[in-house]
Structures are given as C-alpha cells and as structure tokens.
Amino acid sequence: GENVEQHPSTLSVQEGDSAVIKCTYSDSASNYFPWYKQELGKRPQLIIDIRSNVGEKKDQRIAVTLNKTAKHFSLHITETQPEDSAVYFCAAADSSYKLIFGSGTRLLVRP
C-alpha cells in the first residue's frame, strides 16, 4: 500500500521568510496530493491540492509542486505570518480516494 514520508517534522522560521515542507510517496498509482493544516486543538482543513497531471499550483502565498517521476511533492509558503503556525500534513491518494497522510510538520513562525 501507499506510504507517505514527510520532512521536516518541525520547522521554525522568522516572520516574512519562506517555509518549505517536502513529502515523498511510494505508490506510482497515486494521483491526488492534498495538503491539510491543523491549528492547535482544531480539526485538519484542506489548504491546497494538486493532481498528477499538474506540476505546480499556486494560491496566494501558498504553492505546491509535484515531481511525479521522483514521486515527491512540496508545499511552499512565502511571506510567512504568525497565523501560519500550525501542523501541516501532506497526503496521497490513488483512484480509490483512500488518503494516506504523512506524519506532519509543526511550523512555527516567529514574530
């Protein structure tokens, strides 16, 4: 089955700097890669996603890139703000839509 690895486990950046979180997946049949944000004490929520026929997707300060050949994808947050502090999860799914999540990255944005 699918296995998703995520790095780093923790990331601390200065406000205004960029943050990058990387994930790799094992199942070449996976074709959908969402990212979820979980604020402290709250439920995970979808922030951006990408499908395997697209190499990059951007939404304001957030972008995701996908390298299908290497089976890795990354989340990029630019001009980080304190409210970006949260745990971020990547995930991968094949055509069955079963989502397998990475282990999470705790992002801390220092004001």
Partner 1 sequence: GAGVSQSPSNKVTEKGKDVELRCDPISGHTALYWYRQSLGQGLEFLIYFQGNSAPDKSGLPSDRFSAERTGGSVSTLTIQRTQQEDSAVYLCASSILQSPSSPLHFGNGTRLTVT
Tokens 């996976």 label which residue? 30
Residue 58 is a binding residue for partner 1 (CB under 8 A): no
| CA nearest to 4, candidates 71, 66, 76 | 71
Residue 43 is a binding residue for partner 1 (CB under 8 A): yes
91 in Cβ contact with 26 (< 8 Å) = no
- Looking only at residues 71 through 90 of this chain, which bind partner 1 when binding is defined by CB under 8 A? 89
Residue 26 is a binding residue for partner 1 (CB under 8 A): no
Characterize the bridge pairing of strands 86-92 and 62-67: unpaired
Looking at beta carbons only, is 34 or 66 nearer to partner 1? 34
Query: Out of 14, 60, 96, 111, which residue is the one contacting partner 1 (CB under 8 A)?
Result: 96
